[in-house]
Amino acid sequence: MGTVVQDDMFTRDVIADPYGYYGRLRDEDPVHWNDTYALWVITRHEDVTWLTRHHELFSSAVFKNDPRGAYPDIDESDLGLYEYVRNYQGDQFIQHDRPVHLDMRRIVHGYFTPKAMESWRPFVVNAVKELLDAAEEKGSMDVMRDLATPLPVLVIAQMMGVPAEDRPYVRELAEKLLYIGRGEYDRMPILTDGMKGMLEYVSPLVDERIVRPGDDFISVLASGEKKGVFTRHQVLVNTSLLLLAGHETTINLICNGTLAFLQHPSQWALYKEDPAGRAKWATEECLRYDAPVKSIQRLASQDIEVRDKVMRKDDRIRWFISSANRDPNVFAEPNKFDITRQPNPHVAFGNGVHHCLGATLARVEGQEVFKALAERFPNLQIESEELHYQPSITFRSLKSLPVIWQ
């Protein structure tokens, strides 16, 4: 067990550069017991792929079945709020195992097929154009605030069929829901405030779609309630999941991808030669190189041995995309940002039966943003080299990304 790697995954260094820390674990102790947070850290591509494809061994019902408390620690007076969070999160369809998970996924799966999501491309193109028009008029932009954050909210609000005037409120709620992946000691009141606000906001929309279904996503979930697959609480919570899952992840793809381009001028130059033609593989490389999600948790469904380590039933396990996507056994020169890399078997969207439902939508949004940036702002540059990330082990989130183009 001779590893000397320290176990605090929230230090400034690890948050700033997860690739160094988790990369070292991948090389030295790929199935690592983190004593501080009492969980297994899985870092190799081969193991992450295997683990995510063996859903019967690794449960996704983390919030319902993990008897331990929140981590990092929360204020003791907020323990009641954490129970609320567990109950809320536990009703997300992604927090279920088969056979229930399959019944739930089948309700929503058809809405997100690659073909169905392609039909959203014109809407995305137009939304990107409007946001960049506004930025151009202003003469400068924070990619985070002015492009990456509003874009997914526009798309999701349209999918949910919420009125345009409600979008700022939906965005405000989404900001609060993002605290689920954060480490602040006092995060629970903000988070539960967002959750309660979501339930209140979505509830009348569901009432309406039950009676008058449309072609929106809430109607799809409501059809699941009619079929007896979802309870009302699950319909509400899964609407909220769409907002959260489709929001933070897309923000990170846009910001981290833009940053990768601007930190690698030769790749940016290569991309600009043919933005439309290169968008597909360049976006895949952005997803690999600086993935929006760093890690995901499971619980061991039984005692299981992996690489000579024995995991016990109900042990917490976190698998790290950030290290798997830089695994030298799979990717040549893994730390090089190479927009022509093909094939690119990154695990940014996971694998197996829980593979990200919104993957195609994220790809469409990423492709259209990078295309538009290259075509409209070929001289794009980072305004400041000083970058700050949210203290999360789930998300790889910049706090802001100011850019200039004059």
Q: Which residues bind another protein (CB under 8 A)?
A: 53-54, 102, 105-106, 109-110, 112-115, 343, 345, 349-353, 355-357, 359-360
- Cβ-contact 49, 354 below 8 angstroms: no
- Cβ-contact 180, 174 below 8 angstroms: no
Give SS3 for 39.
Answer: strand
Distance, in Å, from the CA atom of 338 to the CA atom of 325, rounded to the nearest integer, reads 13
> For another protein, which is the closer residue by CB, 27 or 46?
46
How near is the Cβ of 152 to another protein at its closest, in Å? Answer: 19
> For another protein, which is the closer residue by CB, 23 or 358?
358
> For another protein, which is the closer residue by CB, 101 or 171?
101
How near is the Cβ of 360 to another protein at its closest, in Å? Answer: 7
How near is the Cβ of 275 to another protein at its closest, in Å? Answer: 22
> For another protein, which is the closer residue by CB, 41 or 51?
51
> For another protein, which is the closer residue by CB, 116 or 269?
116
As given in the structure block, the two tokens for residue 138 are: 């202003």
Residue length, the chain?
406
> For another protein, which is the closer residue by CB, 278 or 346?
346
Which is it for the CA torsion 18, 19, 22, 24, positive or negative? Answer: negative
How near is the Cβ of 335 to another protein at its closest, in Å? Answer: 22
> For another protein, which is the closer residue by CB, 50 or 82?
50
Alpha helices in 326-376 (DSSP H): 359-376
**Closest residue by Cα to residue 290 from 313, 270, 260:** 260
> For another protein, which is the closer residue by CB, 112 or 201?
112
> For another protein, which is the closer residue by CB, 205 or 330?
330
Catalogue the E-assigned strands of 210-344.
Answer: 295-300, 304-306, 309-311, 316-320
Distance, in Å, from the CA atom of 204 to the CA atom of 208, rounded to the nearest integer, reads 6
**Closest residue by Cα to residue 393 from 9, 94, 89, 132:** 9
How near is the Cβ of 46 to another protein at its closest, in Å? Answer: 11
Cis, bond preceding 189 (omega within 30 deg of 0) = no
Strands 316-320 and 39-42: parallel
**Beta-carbon contacts of residue 136 (< 8 Å; ≥ 6 apart):** 376
How near is the Cβ of 378 to another protein at its closest, in Å? Answer: 31
**Cα 176–chain centre separation:** 15
How near is the Cβ of 331 to another protein at its closest, in Å? Answer: 14
- Cβ-contact 174, 195 below 8 angstroms: no
How near is the Cβ of 52 to another protein at its closest, in Å? Answer: 8
**Cα 89–chain centre separation:** 15
How near is the Cβ of 220 to another protein at its closest, in Å? Answer: 14
Q: What angle do the packed helices 275-289 and 232-263 form, to 10 degrees?
A: 110
> For another protein, which is the closer residue by CB, 12 or 109?
109
Helix-, strand-, coil-residue percentages of the chain, each rounded to 5: 55, 10, 35
How near is the Cβ of 352 to another protein at its closest, in Å? Answer: 5
